[in-house]
């Protein structure tokens, strides 16, 4: 398809010298495969866009296609055989180490900062958004030729640790120092939750509940954090214990999600020794001024931000803005990146506006390189989730519930399925992750069990089922058909496939349902590119649903293994199955979802 697009662009450039050529993809293959909207060109040339479209259709010729003027659009519509040859060739003949829709290395470096949970807290369903949006962005950018640095900016420093240290010394240090016993004042927890990390969470919740009636406790927490920043041995020892407990638990969840990072060691605490140099640099640049009670701030009214950026509290302790500034300066020196994406919720929009504005003032190098990728928060029907209040939905509970629901369906409908526990995990995970991806990144999500782990409709399991159905057809076909659609071990975001050739004869691929499937396969590279352009997984998720739906239409209306099919028809349709399975499998892999071979 790239060659045909290039030919179309060249022909348009020749016919319209000096005009910017931008092609679009029509909404339906019935309209065409590529479209040139004539509005801008017509305005530039002083012509009517409908008449311009008609004139171009009459003057441009492209072998294997026809040009059709549809109102102000010039549509390029490929002949069925040309479309089949172009799409199948692109999918089946991708060079080793690449996949359909991927691009060669472009020399650009992107940092993706994502997940970033707070130490001493369990993963909630809210953590899924940053983790999986970030994972998809990292996968897709690497797929499109970028060098990607995957960073997890752990929340392992700050006043919250003062809260935790204060709570531990009040209610655990004497009688439950190792956090191995349940607290007699806490509500009973399920067996899987009875861990030291969960007990830290209980301490955190209790402290915030009681400080509502005893404001002096807040001073106690602040004092503990000041001791931590002042290198107090006891504070440091407890902080390290709590951090190590958390990292072990986080790694277990990341392993289950299939998510990895280049480092887990560059959390907020990593930049502790760089805070003083950062403040010094801000001072030398003339940016720091004194705020209330001796706090140090940076005024940003000159760039339209009325709220000053607080970088040092009145008691001399740092704040997360200080640490984000130090992190950005470190990353410039360590990585020399072209772009840095922060996958952080919408509640931090002002924070990143301030950080980016300060960095632009401090060093013009940063301008245009920093991008906050906000996402809507996950809410409960009764309102916002709050770790402080303890009203949260734990991510592991959601994943477990999804797996159990799938397992019950398998037990009822296909009890003899091989590896049914593994398949239940794949489908449950697919349901949860895909649900998040299908929702627009910037919109909030209201959590309800039935929505998040739905197994029917436009869901992950629906796409996964399309892949499994294809694999069933290929196994029934015999020979090496199934092997052609199976992927080797993943190489980062790439799934390598065995060699397979396009059919010598395309007679079996002329039906409308077949051409519709080919059209949707052709749309996959654009959907992947849209993930990077819009910094959200939604375009890819929606294209995979459309692709699965198109395969269903092809499967229903174009018999693949029917005895009456001529050998060339059978082979052409089977190779289309192979190409579709590869595309589905690769698309799901970019999102962190596995494609089962049986369901």
Q: What is the pLDDT of residues 336-385, one digit of tens each?
A: 999 999 999 999 999 999 999 999 999 999 999 999 999 998 887 877 76
Among candidate residues 133, 118, 116, 115, the one with its CA nearest the CA of residue 443: 133
Q: How confident is the model at residue 231 (pLDDT cuts 50, 70, 90)?
A: very high
Percent of the chain exceeding pLDDT 90 equals 82
Average of per-residue pLDDT across 97-115: 91
pLDDT tens digits, 458-512:
999 999 999 999 999 999 999 999 999 999 999 999 999 988 888 888 989 999 9
Average of per-residue pLDDT across 180-191: 92
Determine the straight-line distance between the first and last CA of the chain, rounded to whole angstroms.
33
Here the tokens at position 499 are 């060699």
Here the tokens at position 510 are 């002329």
Beta strands in 15-159 (DSSP E): 34-37, 65-70, 73-78, 109-113, 147-151
Average of per-residue pLDDT across 77-81: 95
Q: Which residues of 27-43 are buried (b: 16+ CB within 10 A; e: fewer)?
A: eebeebbbbbbbeebbe
The pLDDT value given to residue 388: 60
Q: Is 439 helix (H, G, I), strand (E, B) or coil?
A: coil
Among candidate residues 487, 510, 469, the one with its CA nearest the CA of residue 583: 487
Q: Is 571 helix (H, G, I), strand (E, B) or coil?
A: helix
Burial class (CB in 10 A: 0-12, 13-18, 19+), 95: exposed
Report d(CA 146, CA 35) in Å as an integer: 28
Average per-residue pLDDT in the chain? 93
Average of per-residue pLDDT across 65-69: 95
The pLDDT value given to residue 97: 61
The pLDDT value given to residue 389: 63
* Alpha helices, H only, 144-184: 159-171
3-state helix, strand, coil in the chain (%, to 5): 55, 10, 35
Asked if 357 and 297 count as a contact pair (C-beta separation under 8 A), the reply is: no
396: CB partners within 8 A, 6+ apart: 122, 123, 192, 253
Q: Is 489 helix (H, G, I), strand (E, B) or coil?
A: coil
Here the tokens at position 41 are 């060109």
The pLDDT value given to residue 27: 87
Average of per-residue pLDDT across 535-552: 97
Distances, alpha carbon 556 to alpha carbons 262, 463, 475, 523, 561, in Å: 45, 16, 18, 22, 12
The pLDDT value given to residue 390: 63
Beta strands in 152-237 (DSSP E): none
Percent of the chain exceeding pLDDT 70 equals 98
How are beta strands 73-78 and 65-70 bridged, if at all?
Answer: antiparallel
Q: Is 2 helix (H, G, I), strand (E, B) or coil?
A: helix
Report d(CA 244, CA 362) in Å as an integer: 35
């Amino acid at each position: 398809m790239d060659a045909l697009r290039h030919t179309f662009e060249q022909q348009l450039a020749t016919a319209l010298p000096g005009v910017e050529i931008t092609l679009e993809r029509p909404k339906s293959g019935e309209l065409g495969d590529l479209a040139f909207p004539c509005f801008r060109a017509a305005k530039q040339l002083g012509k009517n866009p409908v008449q311009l479209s008609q004139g171009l259709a009459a003057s441009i010729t492209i072998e294997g296609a026809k040009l059709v003027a549809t109102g102000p659009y010039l549509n390029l519509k490929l002949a069925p055989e040309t479309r089949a040859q172009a799409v199948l060739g692109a999918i089946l003949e991708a060079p080793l180490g690449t996949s359909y829709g991927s691009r060669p290395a472009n020399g650009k470096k992107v940092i993706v900062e994502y997940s970033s949970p707070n130490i001493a807290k369990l993963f909630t369903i809210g953590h899924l958004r940053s983790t999986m949006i970030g994972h998809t962005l990292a996968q897709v950018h690497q797929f499109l030729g970028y060098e990607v640095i995957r960073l997890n900016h752990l929340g392992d420093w700050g006043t919250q640790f003062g809260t935790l240290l204060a709570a531990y010394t009040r209610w655990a240090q004497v009688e439950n120092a190792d956090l191995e016993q349940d607290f007699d004042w806490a509500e009973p927890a399920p067996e899987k939750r009875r861990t030291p990390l969960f007990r830290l969470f209980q301490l955190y919740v209790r402290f915030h509940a009681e400080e509502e009636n005893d404001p002096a406790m807040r001073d106690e927490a602040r004092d503990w954090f000041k001791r931590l920043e002042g290198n107090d041995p006891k504070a440091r020892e407890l902080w390290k214990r709590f951090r190590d407990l958390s990292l072990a638990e986080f790694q277990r969840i990341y392993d289950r999600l299939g998510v990895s990072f280049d480092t887990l060691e560059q959390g907020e605490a990593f930049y502790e020794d760089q805070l003083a140099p950062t403040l010094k640099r801000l001072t030398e640049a003339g940016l720091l001024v004194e705020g209330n009670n001796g706090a140090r701030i940076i005024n940003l009214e000159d760039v339209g931000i009325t709220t000053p950026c607080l970088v040092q509290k009145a008691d001399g302790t740092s704040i997360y803005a200080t640490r984000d500034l130090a992190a950005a300066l470190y990353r410039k020196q360590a990585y020399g990146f072209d772009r840095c994406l922060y996958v952080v919720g919408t509640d931090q929009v002002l924070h990143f506006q301030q950080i980016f504005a300060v960095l632009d003032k401090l060093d013009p190098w940063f301008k245009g390189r920093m991008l906050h990728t906000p996402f809507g928060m996950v809410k409960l029907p009764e309102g916002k989730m709050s770790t402080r209040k303890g009203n949260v939905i734990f991510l592991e509970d959601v994943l477990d519930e999804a797996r159990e629901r799938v397992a019950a369906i398998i037990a009822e409908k296909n009890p003899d399925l091989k590896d049914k526990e593994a398949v239940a995990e794949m489908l449950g995970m697919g349901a949860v992750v895909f649900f998040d991806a299908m929702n627009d990144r910037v919109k909030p999500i209201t959590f309800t069990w039935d929505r998040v782990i739905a197994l029917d409709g436009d869901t992950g399991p629906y796409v996964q089922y399309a892949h499994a159905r294809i694999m069933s057809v290929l196994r029934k076909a015999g020979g090496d058909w199934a092997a052609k659609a199976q992927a080797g071990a993943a190489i980062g975001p790439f799934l390598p496939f065995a060699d397979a050739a396009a059919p010598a004869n395309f007679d079996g691929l002329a039906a409308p349902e077949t051409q519709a499937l080919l059209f949707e396969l052709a749309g996959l590279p654009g959907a992947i590119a849209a993930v990077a352009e819009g910094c959200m997984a939604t375009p890819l998720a929606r294209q995979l649903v459309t692709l699965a739906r198109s395969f269903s239409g092809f499967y229903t209306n174009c018999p693949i293994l029917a005895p009456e099919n001529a050998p060339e028809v059978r082979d052409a349709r089977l190779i289309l199955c192979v190409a579709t399975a590869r595309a589905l499998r690769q698309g799901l892999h970019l999102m962190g979802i596995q494609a089962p071979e049986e369901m």
